[in-house]
Structure 1
Amino acid sequence: MEAKIGVIGGSGLYQIEGLEDIEEFYPDTPWGKPSDAITVGTLEGQRVAFLPRHGKGHRFNPTDLPVRANIYAFKMLGVEWIISISAVGSLREEIAPLDLVIPDQIFDRTSLRPRTYFGDNLGIVAHVTFADPFCNTLRGILYEAANQTGARKVYNSGTYVCMEGPLFSSRAESNFYRKMDCDIIGMTALPEAKLAREAEIHYAVVACSTDYDCWHEGEESVTIEMVVNNLTQNVGRAKQIIRLAIPKIAELIQAGCGCDNALENAIMTDRSKIPAASIEKLGLLVNKYL
């Protein structure tokens, strides 16, 4: 079973219709089970792996997501490109609910989540470049695809502030993030983006604006009902983006960018000092360099 393209579905996107020749992959990884079984099927002529981020029925809150297992399971399938669909709040007047953003930067405000594969005292240290946290090649494909869906407005850049959750922001926090020049706010792009970079997988986000968070005095404060109702309207458009993007990604499967070799010069530990058990645990990530 193999797929080069992966899709992570956020709130409201729990399946993709039209997948053919379906198989399910629910592996044990060194970091436990992923959020749910990964569905692998053929879409637009390509094998695609789909994972509902929060599990079917939305069982995991953002802090408790088994993100290391999710990304590693994709790596086990041979996934090289991940499209992430994510619900976000808007921190800008011009980014209205139901608009789409393809962010190019991220600001980490999480505090309780494992952020790396190279933690847990494994005896191997890697410092991976993260200046541009999303794959610019994939971002370009997603922006082009999003514009073909008839969305009211699609933004080709923006800073995504990732908060811990699961509660939404206070008004003070929301206004603070606005003053910091952040554009959208969500709970799930980290540590996904960091782990995907360590796994040398191209990763980018289609951020679906569902609300104005709570900073906008002229709008109702964000509620889960508001998020779900607006996201439901965006689910169809997100599925369109996925279908349009897959053939474009397939054309670039053999093309490289910095994401492909993110670990090449990042492993700092003397090779002779790395425990054998750690090499075995991280094998899919590090073997080609050790």
Structure 2
Amino acid sequence: MLAIIGGTGMAQLACLEISHRKIMTTPYGEPSGPLTFGKINDNTVVFLARHGYGHTIPPHQVNYRANLWALHSLNLSRVISVASVGGIRADLTPGTVAIPDQIIDYTHGRKYTYHDVIDKAVTHIDFTEPYCQLTRKRLLDAAERANERVIDGGVYGATQGPRLETAAEVNRLERDGVDMIGMTGMPEAALAKELGLCYGTIAVVANHAAGRKTSAHAISLEDAHAVLEKTMVGVRNILERVVEFDVD
């Protein structure tokens, strides 16, 4: 079974034929909302809205540990995250979809690990490759099957939010090698790795990052939401194909 975590622009999954919803409890509190079960093209899928189904939970207050723990308890095959980002790299223009292969964490103060109990042995994870390579390949193959253009690779910079970045901050991120900026990539990716989940991300570029579009000084959130609404049609096409790789 495949899990999909929807971010900004995907509080619901229109292509999902819903069968039921389930309220979950975890040792780490409540997830962002009930898990929604159903089928896409006769393949079982579970969906979770990262920011809540009313999009009321800001990125720095998402209970990432509860979300991933709840999904892990279902013995899933893999987890696909859909996340909106701002594009730094020149080819990451609004409406572009990318499958990142690396991540840099700029967040702070979040509950970022399951291994924080001092009376147990210290546990480290290898985070050389933050995203599951098989999941990335399946997303790329699904995009090709769906005839949807995606960019293979890119460095995701996870910032704290909920505010957007200054132009100077974006310049620093670019010097660090960041290609796209989001607010939810961490600790979600690391927690998935701790739980042994095969995790990948579909990054949807909603806007140019601050200072990257010379014709405007400010980012229009209205325009960004319009871009997301349009681009999510292609994302759903990819999801409809990727489920074919995870047959029950």
Asked if Structure 1 and Structure 2 have the same fold, meaning a TM-score greater than 0.5 normalized by the shorter chain, the answer is: yes
- Give the aligned partner of residue 207 of structure 2: 211
Alpha-carbon distance in structure 2 between the residues aligned to 1:132 and 1:64: 26
The amino acid across from 2:52 in the alignment is G
Alpha-carbon distance in structure 2 between the residues aligned to 1:84 and 1:176: 26
- Give the aligned partner of residue 185 of structure 1: 181
- Give the aligned partner of residue 285 of structure 1: none
How much does 1:150 deviate? 4.4
- Give the aligned partner of residue 244 of structure 1: 241
Q: Is the 8 A contact 1:80 1:200 kept in 2?
A: no
Alpha-carbon distance in structure 2 between the residues aligned to 1:21 and 1:65: 24
Is 1:104 matched with 2:101? yes
In structure 1, the gaps of 5 or more residues are: 254-290
Number of residue equivalences = 247
Q: How does 1:113-124 map to 2 (within 5 A)?
A: 113-121=110-118, 123-124=120-121
User: Which structure's residues are more often helix, by fraction?
Assistant: 1
Is 1:130 matched with 2:127? yes
How much does 1:225 deviate? 1.8
Alpha-carbon distance in structure 2 between the residues aligned to 1:88 and 1:7: 17
Q: Is the 8 A contact 2:18 2:36 kept in 1?
A: no
- Give the aligned partner of residue 200 of structure 1: 196
- Give the aligned partner of residue 161 of structure 2: 165
Alpha-carbon distance in structure 2 between the residues aligned to 1:102 and 1:91: 15
Q: Once the two structures are aligned, what percentage of the paired residues are identical? A: 31
Is 1:74 matched with 2:71? yes
Q: Report the CA distance shift for 1:21/1:211 in structure 2 as closer, same or farther (over 3 A).
A: closer
Alpha-carbon distance in structure 2 between the residues aligned to 1:150 and 1:12: 21
In structure 2, the gaps of 5 or more residues are: none
Alpha-carbon distance in structure 1 between the residues aligned to 2:6 and 2:119: 31
Alignment RMSD: 1.6
Describe the superposition over 1:200-227 as per-residue Cα deviations: whole angstroms up to 9, x where unpaired: 1100000001111112242433232232
Larger relative contact order (CA 8 Å, sep ≥ 6) = 2
Larger Rg: 1
Alpha-carbon distance in structure 2 between the residues aligned to 1:195 and 1:187: 15
Q: Report the CA distance shift for 1:18/1:103 in structure 2 as closer, same or farther (over 3 A).
A: closer
Q: Is the 8 A contact 1:138 1:249 kept in 2?
A: no
- Give the aligned partner of residue 89 of structure 2: 92
Q: Structure 1 segments of 4 or more deviating over 3 A? A: 18-21, 147-151
Describe the superposition over 1:82-139 as per-residue Cα deviations: whole angstroms up to 9, x where unpaired: 0110000000112111011100000000012111101143524210111000001110
